[in-house]
Amino acid sequence: MFRLATSSDIPERDLVERCLSITDQATRRLAQRQLYERYKRAMFSTAYRITNDYDNANDALQDAFVAVFRSLHQFTFDSTLGAWIKTIVVRNAVRKQQLESRFIGIDEATHDQPIRLPEGLTGAELDTVIRTLPDGARTVFLLAEVEGYAHREIADMLNITEGTSKSQLNYARRLLRQRLSNDYQ
């Protein structure tokens, strides 16, 4: 029986080539739709965690995919397509938040201590507590702890210093420790 290929069946390189097709507009549009469908959920989740707002996350996602399709010809396969798209989504989400003026000054010498999660704390409860962090601290925390970016990468993405990235991460951790110990004892 004949079966249509789903976007997950198409290798990344082939999908990119189809998205860049200059001879067949129908193929290009279908491939762009498939690429969007393949990555939209994960990328929305990233945008939402950064913006903490459904509408801003959707706006950031749409702006990011416009940028993806405009610059897809520059993608060199040095990383995965998903990682490349995520970088664009993060930058758009950060831009939506206008973080330049939202970082809180914290002593950079703050000592880093691990966060101990209370027993029985659910992922949804932890997510709720993370969303209460100030924008700058939340964004740095998510980029460092959830997405795994290094402080240099975060500094470049957010147009801040590495020291600010480190201090915001420590500030976020300190707030999380306080809120978790106060709310979940």
What's the chain's average pLDDT? 82
Q: What is the DSSP track for 6-44? A: PGGGS-HHHHHHHHT-SS-HHHHHHHHHHHHHHHHHHHH
Q: What is the pLDDT of residues 32-90, one digit of tens each?
A: 999 999 999 999 999 998 888 888 889 889 999 999 999 999 999 998 999 999 989 98
pTM: 0.63
**How does DSSP classify residue 146?**
I
Question: 32 phi and psi, to 5 degrees?
Answer: -60, -40
CA pseudo-torsion sign 53, 56, 60, 66: positive
Greatest alpha-carbon pair distance for the chain in Å reads: 65
CA distance readout (Å), 48 to 9, 33, 127, 178: 27, 21, 11, 24
**Taking a C-beta distance cutoff of 8 angstroms, is the pair 110, 145 a contact?**
no
| Token output for 179 | 């809120």
Domains located in the chain, CATH noted? 7-97 (1.10.1740.10), 100-183 (1.10.10.10)
Q: Given pLDDT bands bounded at 50, 70 and 90, which one contains residue 151?
A: very high
